[in-house]
Structure 1
Amino acid sequence: MFNNLFIAAAKTGLSSWIPTILIYVVLIGGLFWWSSRRRKQANEQQQKMRTGLVKGAQVVTIGGLHGVVDSIDTEKKIVTLDVEGVYLPFEQRAIARIIAPTDGDQETNITKNEDKKENK
């Protein structure tokens, strides 16, 4: 089958293959551009989230661990999470999302959570 294509191409010349090759090149180039653009947007969104990370915020790590930010070391890019009294250090990039940003008062967030548990 492929031999017939090459023979036909040899008889008709390369000029009949140029539009087909150009279409494939444009499609592949478009896919690469679209993929890199989405990756760039996702990276920008993650970076915004990480810069908005503050002490007292409730977060989830990429491993699914829920905790409250206890401290942030911007030089080493390490975040220490308080998980029910256990303090665990994580790299900033291990924070997947912020569940509830803090209002600046960690006690308020804790009492809100306790009130929700009592109402259930």
Structure 2
Amino acid sequence: MSSIKKYIDDMFTQNNQHINAIQRVQNHLSYKLGRLMIKNSKSIFGWIKMPFSIIATIREYKILTKLTNRITKLPKIETLPDYNEALKYKNLMGYKLGEALLKGLETWYK
């Protein structure tokens, strides 16, 4: 919950300036989950706590998106000036790993 409060505070302290494209990509659930999985995969204890961390991150993300959608309407990410740099973040291994996890969670029964 502290990261939700931090995100909202950061959003309001930018003097009504919109978040840049790189920050928006880093706030995607795929990026967060991929980064979490890479960080936790370095130790046995990390592997044990990984499912709980993933569930907590997904819950936090859902709350965050509800709050931000109520507060402000952000412009499309394609219209931001640093969109091309943000595409580089989407091609990182962590982002792709998070996308694969989300796709696997959607079709776990297959």
Structure whose residues are more often strand by fraction: 1
TM-score bracket relative to the smaller structure? under 0.3
TM-score normalised according to structure 2 size: 0.24
TM-score normalised according to structure 1 size: 0.23
Structure whose residues are more often helix by fraction: 2
For the pair shown, which has the larger CA radius of gyration, 1 or 2? 1
